[in-house]
Structure 1
Amino acid sequence: MANRNPTFELTVLLILVLLTKSKFLEALRSNSHATVDFNISCIEKEREALLQFKDGLKDPSGWLSSWVGDDCCNWVGVSCSIQTGHVVTLELKGSVCDSYQENKAAYYRKSCLFGKLNPSLLNLPFLSYLDLSGNNFHGNPIPEFIGSLKNLRYLDLSQASFTGMVPSSLGNLSNLEHLDLSHNSFFGSLPRLGNLSLLSNLDLSFNLMDGMIPEDIGQLSELFTLNLYGNSWKSVISENHFRNLSGLTFLYLSSTNKSLVFNVRHDWVAPFSLSTLAIGDCQLGSAFPSWLESQAGISRLTLSNVGLLDTIPGWFWRLLPQAQWLDLSDNQIRGELPKSINVRVDAWIDLGFNRLEGSLPLWSNVSNLSLRNNLLTGSIPIDIGHRMSIFENLDLSNNLLNGSIPQSISEMRNLSFLDLSNNHLSREIPSNWQGLDKLRVIDLSKNRLSGGIPSSICSLPSLVCLRLSSNNLSGELSASLQDCTRLLSLDLGQNGFFGTIRPIAEKLINVSYLGLRANMLTGSIPEQLCGFPVLHILDLAHNNLSGGIPTCLGNLKAMKYTRYYSSVPPSIERIEFTLHAEFVVKGRQNEYRKINSLLNIIDLSSNNLIGEIPEEITSLTVLHALNLSWNQLTGKIPENIGSLQQLETLDLSCNHLSGPIPPSMSSMTFLSHLNLSYNNLSGKILSSNQFATWNDPSIYEGNLYLCGPPLTTNCSSGHGDSEDNDKVEDEDKSEKFWFYVSVVLGFIVGFWAVCGTLIIKESWRHTYFRFVDETKDKLFVIIAVHVGHLYKKVCRCQKIKVVANKRYEL
């Protein structure tokens, strides 16, 4: 027998042990069921525990249909120890559960569990890996019993719709290395992390936690990732919070109410070396933190809305050779930007909402740049497309840039998002847009551009959003948009476009935002708009449209059914380039930095629309704003208008509407802005719910027959509530019928009885004609008085309109 080499045998044995351990850990932490070549039988008690756990869940997609038979180790999401057969892994990570309700029917994405967690899991004593993230537990609290699963090393309950306090029992999980409770709703303080000395990853981001961040978090010496972003902490952060966190590499901190305060010494030296730092919505101090200078290996840095008032120090730019992502937005940072910076290729940079001055820098390695809402001046460099050809997203909106838009933009072949709005750019829109096949969003609104819309814009194959409002553009509407058939959002408001809407209404079937406000459009509102399946915002105000309001507007699907979407919190891994728009809501023009697909608006004000308000419009149950003011509408306010339960703004002023205020309006509890002034409404003003809180008489002024608070007109015998008015109206109809009958009979009988007498008797004839002359004079006086009142009303309305137009122009 050959001599054995002990060193060799020991090495082989060690390799076998390491391989066995590696296979075990791979099976333990795998995101899918690991198949092993051992004949392992499921332990009956643990099998029963899993079946009890399943019984507490709802599984609409049949995801757990494999949980049958004796061998639970082969069930989906279950893994067992290859040595003992005990269940060690329960990995049921679902898709994020989105749901929406339409016609009271619910839809759920597949592979998503619902229900409650059964404490039968306590009968899995060797369970070390538990992942139930991405499911929907309908606001139930995290069960206390989870803190008794002593062998847990990995626990992920993120995005699972839990709510309530974080159980203090989680502090008992002394073997825990990974804890993720992010993207739920439970609140309160951090659990006293206690025996959690092995914890390396802690993620509690995007919840409602509003307590203190305890200093003993600084004792978690193994901590690698600490993510407390997107909560409402009320705490002071000191050096003690980081005392022993020498291995910390990823740090995320923010407080939505800005009540998280950093209080560290100016000469403090951080014990860690970070790769990612994200601090937002906090009180960091007015100057750039000096401890940041030691973080030379940082690749992702966010200091957003933290109160910086400083200029950017020179040492800061030297930190960035490894930087792929930099966000210093929403501060008051001053000074000029350097002409060049040293960052990684394809870097994302957001310096928006500051006070930066000077000319536009050209940073060749940057692919995504936002300098929105600053004080940049000068023109856009003529060679920007050549020198920054890798651009994907460019936002220079809300600055003081002037001159023309360079033709070289067409060289940015990867460009997807372009926002140059709210500057002083002039001349015509460049004609050459060919080759920009990835361009999805163009926003050139609120400039001084003239001419028409180049045909090459509508030929862009990926274009879904075109915003050109508030310029000096002109042209026939349908000719300008002949090939823009793929648009989802179109805003041409406040320009000089003319023509009718119908030709484009036949093409823009998928548009969700149609803004044609303040142009010179004529004709009627086309019924084709009623078939737009995703139309959320329809703004046709301040044009010369005529005809009636189409009754089929009540068929707009996107304004009839409530849709629920999962909450998507702000990104901390990628800068967002979002659309923004301005809408006239609640009587004033508001800017929305993020356009919410749930915002539903119809504005047809300041046109020449006639006829009645269609009753069908009351079926738009998720409409948020309706403005029909300054038209020639007649008839009553629809009786069923109270069905618009989500309505926040209703403006029907300056029309010819009559009748009472419908009683159903008192149920519109979301209504916060109402204007019914200058109509012919009558009866008693409602006094319940929202109406009891409105003390402004201007809401109702110009309606001579309205009475009751807040007007000074008392409801006397000449005024009554809506029920009395209805009775009076019915009586009036009956009286009018018999009046006309009596007139006809009286004419037949009286004509010869009176006129025959006048013909025969001369003295009666003179007396009669004298009476006619006197009656004529009295009638002229009455007409003159009423014309005077009407003149005053018209003048007042015109005065209000002039003031409103001036405010609007401003």
Structure 2
Amino acid sequence: MPLLTDLDISQNYLYGSIPLSLGNLQNMTDLVISNNHLSGVIPDIWSDFKYLYYLDISNNNFFGKIPSSIGSLSFIRFLFLGGNKLYGQIPSSLQNCTSMDTLDMGDNRLSGNLPYWVGEAMPSLLIFRVRNNSFTGHIPGQLCRLSNLHILDLSHNKLTGIIPTCLGNLSGLKTELKLDSERYEGSLQVATKGRIMEYTETTLYLVNSLDLSSNNLSGGIPQELTTLSELGTLILSRNQLTGKIPEMIGNLKDLETLDLSHNKLVGEIPASIVSLTFLSHLNLSFNKLSGKIPTKNQFQTFDDPSIYKGNLALCGTPLTTKCSGSGSGNGEAPSGGGKNDEDVKGRMENLWFYLTIALGFFMGFWGVCGSLIIKKRWRLAYFCFLEKIISEITVLIFVTANRLKKMFKR
């Protein structure tokens, strides 16, 4: 069978290991043995293949290191190694695979730093998936050079450092991708809308995803990420991110999934977030957010309080905590606090009224009495004046009374 070019024995119940005789099929272009129960190490036979451009050995029980001979597959475009028990580092020989479109090594036990050369040696890469491994170190800035990348999944590793601001330069997430059946083959599992979904080549081109969740990333969320206008999924949960949610988050008009939960984000939810009218899955729980929860547009449908759980300073629907005060931070009048505001305003007016009366009495009393106490001449003159007035009033009363008696006698 040396002329065999396509072999697909996936989704069976095959056991055992890959036979070394497979290397005799030098004219093979497509080899798919995924979703079986194959085990053992991956044999170092790949330098014998001259034309192989599609290799899928995912979802088996292979262990050991990735053989360096895979780097001799100069025509390889689709490489699926995920869902095994592979360990060690990504072999540097893979940088010879300059035509790579999809590189999936997720759900293994790989370790070491993410190779910087991926961003330099694979300019046509569309999909880079290494989720659920044990990679350490920083996210290499060279990944920002992957202008065609539209799925970047580095989640569930041990990455540290900040999110590179240059990820906002991923032009593949800024322009609408058109279906090219030759560039999307196989299937891929992607975290979106709160669950893991599997996409095939007929729908994979629709997925634009950035998933950096479940690492040890720190620092703020770069404002530059809000320029990725075609991004559909943004998952940054379960890190150590600080600072505020970017004010221009509303620029991500096509965003359907936003998960920023389990971080240390502070401040109010930006007012622009209500512009995300395609948003169907939101999770902002377990941060340090404050202020009123927006209620406009799509946010009217987010009635699950668990979305905001663990943010003790958040208030408003759907939480039971009512908002008070005049500042909502979202351009909306606070709900549930109107009556309280009126009561406070009334109490303040009454307080000022009584203070004014007291101040007026104090100033009037001491303005007169104080001067009489201090100045003796004024005091004598004042009492003489009072005595004179009282005398005149007394005389006037008696005179008036006598006149009235005479009138009644007549």
Unaligned 5+ runs, structure 1: 1-387, 569-576, 726-810
**Which of the numbers 416, 419, 423 marks the counterpart of 2:32?**
419
Q: Return the letter of the residue paired with 1:457.
A: I
Residue equivalent to 2:19: 406
What SS does the corresponding residue of 1:449 show, helix, strand or coil?
strand
Match of 2:149 among 535, 543, 546: 535
- CA deviation profile, 1:608-644 (whole Å, cap 9, x unmatched): 1111100010000000101000000011111111110
2:303 counterpart (695, 704, 707)? 695
Partners in 2 of 1:723 and 1:672 — Cα distance? 23
Residue matched to 1:644: 252
Alignment of 1:195-234 (within 5 A): none
* Partner residue, 1:439: 52
Report whether the alignment pairs 1:510 with 2:144. no
3-state SS of 2:103 partner: strand
The answer to whether the Cα contact below 8 Å between 2:220 and 2:242 also exists between their aligned partners in 1 is yes
Aligned AA (2:275): S
The 2-side partners of 1:667 and 1:724 are apart by: 14
Could you say which residue in structure 2 is the equivalent of 1:484?
Answer: 97
1:719 positional shift: 7.6
1:299-314 aligned within 5 A: none
Quote the Cα distance in structure 2 between the aligned partners of 1:587 and 1:607.
18
Quote the residue 1:555 is aligned against: 169
Task: Give the C-alpha shift of residue 508 in structure 1.
Answer: 2.9
Deviations 1:621-669 (A, max 9, x none): 0001010000000111111111101111110000001111111111111
Shift of 1:526: 1.1
Alpha-carbon distance between aligned partners in 2 of 1:563 and 1:511, rounded to the nearest angstrom: 14
1:593 to 200, 209, 213: 200
2:270 equivalent to 1:662: yes
More helix by share: 2
Residue type matched to 1:662 in 2? P
Q: How many residues in Structure 1 have an aligned counterpart in Structure 2?
A: 331
Residue correspondence of structure 1 range 268-283 to structure 2 within 5 A: none
In structure 1, the residue matched to 2:363 is none
Residue 226 of structure 2 corresponds to 618
**Per-residue deviation at 1:476?**
2.1
Asked whether the equivalents of residues 478 and 504 of structure 1 are also in contact (C-alpha less than 8 Å), the reply is no
Cα deviation 1:319-351 (Å, max 9, x = unaligned): xxxxxxxxxxxxxxxxxxxxxxxxxxxxxxxxx
SS of alignment partner, residue 553 of structure 1: helix
The 1:460–1:507 alpha-carbon spacing in structure 2 relative to 1, beyond 3 Å, is: same
Relative to 1, partners in 2 of residues 1:502 and 1:412: Cα closer, same or farther, differing over 3 Å? closer
User: Given residue 496 of structure 1, which amino acid in structure 2 is its aligned partner?
Assistant: R
Deviations 1:339-386 (A, max 9, x none): xxxxxxxxxxxxxxxxxxxxxxxxxxxxxxxxxxxxxxxxxxxxxxxx
Q: Name the CA distance, whole Å, in 2 between partners of 1:706 and 1:410.
A: 61
RMSD: 2.3
Aligned residue in 2 for 1:450: 63
Residues 482 and 557 of structure 1, relative CA distance in 2, 3 Å threshold? closer
Equivalent residues of 2:269, 2:293 under 8 A apart: yes
Seen in structure 2, the aligned counterparts of structure 1 residues 724 and 599 have a Cα distance that, compared at 3 Å, is closer
Does the 8 A contact of 2:66 with 2:91 survive in 1?
Answer: no
CA contact (8 A) 1:473 1:497 kept: yes
Distance across 2 between alignment mates of 1:602 and 1:640? 17
**Do the aligned partners of 1:536 and 1:598 also contact (CA within 8 Å) in 2?**
no
- Is 1:708 the counterpart of 2:316 in the alignment? yes
Give me the whole-angstrom Cα distance separating, in 1, the residues matched to 2:128 and 2:111.
16
Secondary structure (helix, strand or coil) at the match of 1:521 reads: strand
User: Is residue 426–residue 450 contact of structure 1 (8 Å, CA) maintained in 2?
Assistant: yes
The one-character-per-residue Cα deviations of 1:491-515 (angstroms, maximum 9, x if unpaired) are: 1112121111243334333311111
Q: Give the TM-score normalised by structure 1.
A: 0.39
> What is the alpha-carbon distance in structure 2 between the residues aligned to residue 539 and residue 398 of structure 1?
25
Contact 2:116 2:143 in 1 (8 A): no
**Cα shift readout 1:543-591 (whole Å, capped 9, x = no counterpart):** 111111111111101001124458x7xxxxxxxx941111111111111
> Which residue in the other structure is 1:520 paired with?
134
* Cα distance between partner residues in 1 of 2:310 and 2:316: 14
SS in 2 for 1:639: coil
1:484, distance to aligned residue in structure 2 (A): 3.5
Q: Percent identity?
A: 50
Runs of 5+ unmatched residues, structure 2: 334-410
One-letter code of the match for 1:467?
F
* Contact preservation (8 Å) 1:433, 1:456: yes
Aligned 1:231-380 pairs, distance under 5 A: none
Contact kept in structure 1, 2:23 and 2:49, CA below 8 Å: yes
SS at match of 2:11: coil
- In structure 2, the CA distance between the partners of 1:440 and 1:614, relative to structure 1 (3 Å rule), is same
1:483/1:564 CA distance change after superposition, 3 Å: closer
2:345 aligned partner: none
Q: Report the TM-score, using the length of structure 2 for normalisation.
A: 0.76
Question: 8 Å contact 2:232–2:257 — kept in the other structure?
Answer: yes
Q: How much does 1:718 deviate?
A: 9.5
* Residue identity in the other structure for 2:277: T
3-state secondary structure, aligned to 1:722:
coil
Give the Cα–Cα distance (whole angstroms) in 2 for the partners of residues 537 and 720 of structure 1. Answer: 36
Matched, 1:500 2:107: no
Task: Report SS of the residue matched to 1:403.
Answer: coil
Q: What letter corresponds to residue 626 of structure 1 in structure 2?
A: L
Post-superposition CA distance 1:299-327 (Å, at most 9, x none): xxxxxxxxxxxxxxxxxxxxxxxxxxxxx
Query: 1:723, CA displacement in angstroms?
Result: 5.0
Larger RCO (CA under 8 A, 6+ residues apart)? 2
Which amino acid is 2:297 matched to?
N
Judge conservation of contact 2:62–2:85 (CA < 8 Å) in 1. Answer: yes
1:410–1:436 contact (8 Å) kept in structure 2: yes
Deviations along 1:221-273, one digit per CA (max 9) or x if unpaired, are: xxxxxxxxxxxxxxxxxxxxxxxxxxxxxxxxxxxxxxxxxxxxxxxxxxxxx
Q: 1:618, 1:598 → 2: CA distance?
A: 19
5 Å matches for 1:560-571? 560-565=174-179
SS at match of 2:294: coil
- SS of equivalent to 1:481: helix
Contact between 2:243 and 2:266, CA under 8 Å: does it hold in 1?
Answer: yes
Kept after mapping to 1: 8 A contact 2:116/2:140? no
Structure 1 stretches of at least 4 aligned residues deviating more than 6 Å after TM superposition: none
Q: CA deviation at 1:716?
A: 2.3
Q: Distance in 2 between matches of 1:702 and 1:480?
A: 46
Query: 1:685 and 2:293 equivalent?
Result: yes
Aligned equivalents of 1:550, 1:585: Cα separation in 2: 22
Task: Give the direction of change, closer, same or farther, for the CA distance of 1:478–1:409 in structure 2 (3 Å limit).
Answer: closer
Distance 2:332 2:302 in 1: 24
SS state at 2:38 partner: strand
Q: Which amino acid aligns with 2:127?
A: Y
Query: Which of 224, 240, 243 is 1:632 aligned to?
Result: 240
Query: Deviations 1:187-230 (Å, cap 9, x if unpaired)?
Result: xxxxxxxxxxxxxxxxxxxxxxxxxxxxxxxxxxxxxxxxxxxx
- Residue 439 of structure 1 aligns to a residue whose secondary structure is coil
Contact 2:187/2:198 (8 A) holds in 1: yes
Quote the offset at 1:720 in angstroms.
3.5
